[in-house]
């Protein structure tokens, strides 16, 4: 990315929540920022990397990124780490000890919750990490608050020597608003000061830090009670008051502008007295929180009478069409159907699919042609292999899980599975993130599994970010590139069981897979073509379908390339007298990249290189083709 020229102080800039956090990180004088890409958090580090005067890196996984940030904070510098909600599952090992050591320089951890499941395998509520790890949680409701709360989080972090979680959601990450920004305040780290009793968490030292953690809880709750981030908005309609946080606050204010509302920006520890203050002003209190009943449970435990998930759903965004009828039922009022502002258009369904000429297309086409397989999958673009037309993935759990699940499938075979061949499919970045350990476990425990390691030289699912497998760092500059063939051999896979193939060469790919699944050992097949959306990919001459040769057999459709379309071109009368439609296909030559995947299964040889008709040019005295 090109370097960003910092805007002058007090400028107003249209920013997403991710961009606003990035700006605040830079202004706060952060020296080190680290992350692993994950929607909806990815853009935070991408934007941070464009600012001068700080170090930014894509780490191989979220745990490593947090540990990098911890090291910088131990050294007295301000640090930043971000991830999506499931990323904290990976990083939590470090977090749960960091809460005992605390920090020296300020450390903010932004966690982006995918409320509504836009791009994730589950829907978690990261506020629970605040409760679990005994660290404060801030929840912005828009881009300006994302900016302001990031700055405030660094002050709180250094004041109490504790990491602060900035809990974002997809709504805040990606929606844009005007943000008033300032200038960078350069800070000089104090340097690391040796203190083994604090930073070496063996049992004897850790036991002495636990009482300090609980003492800090009380101090932080007192801070939350007085924090200007927690504010009661008065209202004239006292029938129902609301306690809410994050973007749910915006939904509540839009739906019930006259109701009193306690807006929690500093939401953990929960400020109990502030909640009691709101409860004293209204007839009933409703907790509107996305997505789990964290605040609700805490307040009920304190004896504060509140209503929450009894009337509101436990998943998804709590938008006005959700809140309004729930409150109407609570008040015994007629429930009005809240119409959508825009009536959705009736369009032909378009299930998610891979890109035109994606190197994974050939892999899944081939796997769909090989019989008697159980296929464990992983997190990435290639998860789409579970869909039509391939239906060539049977499980998908978490980053790197394809390896362990495949091993378990092998060792846990039932009577109906004894003759099944087990295949694990994993991408390059996912393999480096959390798959290497699984492969090592397979080798160590003598598995009978074939691994498809799909190297497309990018973190494709989140936008084509760089990783150690493509030889570029976050700035696009040259970096050491991992050789996957050497790596898997180093992990113990036998040399004769490692193959590198071009996924566009279907006969070779088919033969390699067919042969390797028959071998009762660990095999690894590495595919080696780049993602079509990155600069490493080079288009070739496109193809077209010759109508006079196409029989409508549909073999090319099984590849699954979205550049191929079905057309209806007439009728045929069968011997029985029944009239049937004839199906033909065409290739959208404007998007075809010439990969040749569709050519190989075409039985009548009806797919040829595109030969555009020469345009007609007007010339003096007539026209010329």
Question: In whole numbers, what is the pLDDT of the chain averaged over residues?
Answer: 91
Of residues 11 and 165, more confidence is placed in: 165
Task: Return the CATH class of domain 12-226.
Answer: alpha beta
Distance CA 325, CA 323 (A): 6
- Residues, the chain, total? 625
* Mean pLDDT, range 453-475, rounded to an integer: 89
pLDDT in tens, 172-185: 999 999 999 999 99
Of residues 150 and 609, more confidence is placed in: 150
68-77, 441-450, 607-616, range with the lowest pLDDT: 607-616
Paired tokens of 352: 């998610």
Of residues 548 and 303, more confidence is placed in: 303
pLDDT in tens, 238-260: 999 999 999 999 999 999 999 99
DSSP 202-219: -HHHHHHHHHHHHHHHHH
Distance CA 297, CA 512 (A): 56
3-class SS letters over 266-278: EEECCCHHHHHHH
pLDDT in tens, 334-360: 887 666 556 667 777 777 889 999 999
* Mean pLDDT, range 389-394, rounded to an integer: 92
What is the percent of the chain with per-residue pLDDT over 70, rounded to a whole number? 92
pLDDT in tens, 20-75: 999 999 999 999 999 999 999 999 999 999 999 999 999 999 999 999 999 999 99
CATH code linked to domain 230-331? 3.40.50.920
Paired tokens of 182: 């300032």
What is the percent of the chain with per-residue pLDDT over 90, rounded to a whole number? 76
Distance CA 89, CA 273 (A): 32
DSSP 549-585: T-----GGGGG--TTEEEEEEEEEE-TTS-EEEEEEE
pLDDT in tens, 191-208: 999 999 999 999 999 999
Task: Quickly tell me which residue has 């920004």 as its tokens.
Answer: 181
Of residues 405 and 614, more confidence is placed in: 405
Handedness of CA 393, 394, 399, 403 (dihedral sign): negative
Of residues 313 and 342, more confidence is placed in: 313
pLDDT score of 7 more than 70: no
* pLDDT at residue 471 in the model: 87
- What's the topology of domain 359-527? Rossmann fold (3.40.50)
- Band (11; pLDDT cuts 50, 70, 90): confident
Distance CA 265, CA 407 (A): 45
User: 610 and 593 in contact (C-beta within 8 Å)?
Assistant: no
pLDDT score of 618 more than 60: no
User: 254 and 320 in contact (C-beta within 8 Å)?
Assistant: yes
* pLDDT at residue 576 in the model: 63
Of residues 616 and 458, more confidence is placed in: 458
* Mean pLDDT, range 317-332, rounded to an integer: 92
* pLDDT at residue 2 in the model: 44
- Closest residue by Cα to residue 111 from 174, 182, 47, 44: 44
- Identical topology for domains 230-331 and 359-527: yes
CATH code linked to domain 543-609? 3.30.70
Distance CA 202, CA 209 (A): 11
- Band (569; pLDDT cuts 50, 70, 90): low
Distance CA 300, CA 307 (A): 9
Residue 477: C-alpha distances to residues 1, 91, 460, 467 (Å): 10, 27, 18, 11
Residue 479: C-alpha distances to residues 56, 483, 484, 579 (Å): 14, 13, 15, 62
* Mean pLDDT, range 558-583, rounded to an integer: 74
pLDDT score of 490 more than 50: yes
Domain ranges of the chain: 12-226, 230-331, 359-527, 543-609
* Mean pLDDT, range 580-603, rounded to an integer: 86
pTM of the predicted model as reported, rounded to 2 decimal places: 0.88
């Amino acid at each position: 990315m090109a370097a960003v020229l910092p805007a002058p102080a007090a400028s107003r800039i249209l920013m997403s929540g991710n961009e606003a956090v990035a700006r605040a990180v830079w202004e706060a004088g952060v020296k080190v920022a680290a992350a692993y890409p994950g929607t909806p958090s990815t853009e935070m580090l991408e934007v941070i990397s464009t600012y001068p005067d700080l170090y930014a890196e894509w780490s191989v996984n979220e745990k490593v990124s947090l540990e990098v940030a911890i090291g910088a904070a131990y050294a007295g510098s301000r640090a930043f780490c971000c991830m999506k909600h499931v990323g904290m599952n990976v990083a939590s090992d470090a977090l749960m000890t960091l809460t005992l050591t605390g920090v020296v320089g300020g450390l903010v951890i932004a966690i982006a919750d995918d409320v509504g499941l836009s791009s994730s395998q589950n829907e978690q509520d990261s506020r629970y990490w605040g409760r679990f790890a005994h660290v404060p949680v801030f929840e912005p409701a828009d881009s300006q608050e994302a900016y302001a709360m990031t700055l405030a989080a660094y002050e709180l972090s250094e004041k109490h020597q504790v990491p602060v979680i900035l809990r974002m959601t997809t709504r805040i990450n990606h929606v844009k608003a005007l943000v008033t920004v300032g200038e960078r305040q350069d800070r000089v780290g104090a340097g690391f000061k040796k203190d083994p009793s604090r930073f070496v968490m063996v049992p004897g030292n850790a036991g002495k830090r636990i009482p300090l953690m609980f003492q800090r809880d009380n101090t932080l709750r007192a801070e939350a009670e007085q924090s200007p981030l927690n504010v009661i908005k008065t209202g004239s309609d006292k029938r129902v008051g609301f306690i809410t946080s994050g973007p749910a606050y915006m939904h509540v204010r839009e739906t019930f502008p006259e109701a009193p509302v306690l807006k929690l920006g500093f939401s953990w520890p929960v400020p109990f007295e502030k909640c009691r203050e709101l409860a004293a002003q209204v007839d009933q209190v409703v907790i509107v929180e996305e997505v789990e009943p964290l605040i609700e449970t805490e307040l009920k435990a304190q004896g504060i009478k509140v209503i929450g998930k009894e009337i509101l759903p436990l998943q998804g965004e709590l938008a006005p069409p959700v809140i309004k009828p729930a409150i109407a039922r609570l008040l015994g009022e007629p429930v009005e159907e809240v119409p959508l502002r825009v009536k959705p258009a009736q369009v032909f369904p378009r299930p998610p699919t891979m890109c035109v000429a994606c190197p994974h297309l050939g892999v899944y086409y081939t796997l769909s042609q090989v019989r008697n397989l159980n296929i464990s999958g992983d997190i990435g673009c290639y998860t789409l292999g579970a869909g039509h037309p391939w239906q060539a993935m049977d499980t998908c759990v978490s980053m790197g899980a394809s390896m362990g699940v495949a091993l378990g499938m092998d060792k846990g075979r039932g009577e109906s599975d004894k003759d099944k061949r087990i295949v694990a499919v994993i991408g390059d970045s996912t393999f480096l993130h959390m798959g290497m350990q699984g492969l090592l476990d397979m080798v160590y425990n003598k598995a009978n599994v074939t691994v498809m390691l799909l190297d497309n030289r990018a973190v494709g699912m989140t936008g084509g970010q760089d990783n150690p497998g493509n030889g570029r760092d976050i700035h696009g500059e040259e970096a050491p590139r991992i050789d996957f063939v050497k790596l898997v051999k180093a992990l113990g896979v036998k040399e004769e069981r490692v193959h590198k193939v071009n996924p566009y060469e279907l006969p070779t790919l088919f033969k390699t897979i067919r042969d390797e699944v028959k071998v009762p050992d660990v095999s690894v097949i590495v595919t080696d073509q780049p993602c079509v959306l990155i600069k490493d990919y080079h288009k070739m001459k496109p193809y077209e379908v010759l109508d006079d040769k196409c029989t409508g057999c549909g073999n090319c459709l099984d590849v699954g390339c979205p550049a191929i379309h079905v057309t209806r071109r007439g009728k045929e009368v069968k011997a029985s007298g029944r009239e049937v439609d004839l199906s033909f296909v065409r290739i959208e030559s404007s998007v075809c990249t010439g990969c040749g995947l569709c050519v190989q299964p075409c039985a009548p040889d009806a797919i040829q290189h595109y030969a555009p008709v020469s345009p007609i040019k007007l010339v003096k005295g007539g026209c010329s083709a």
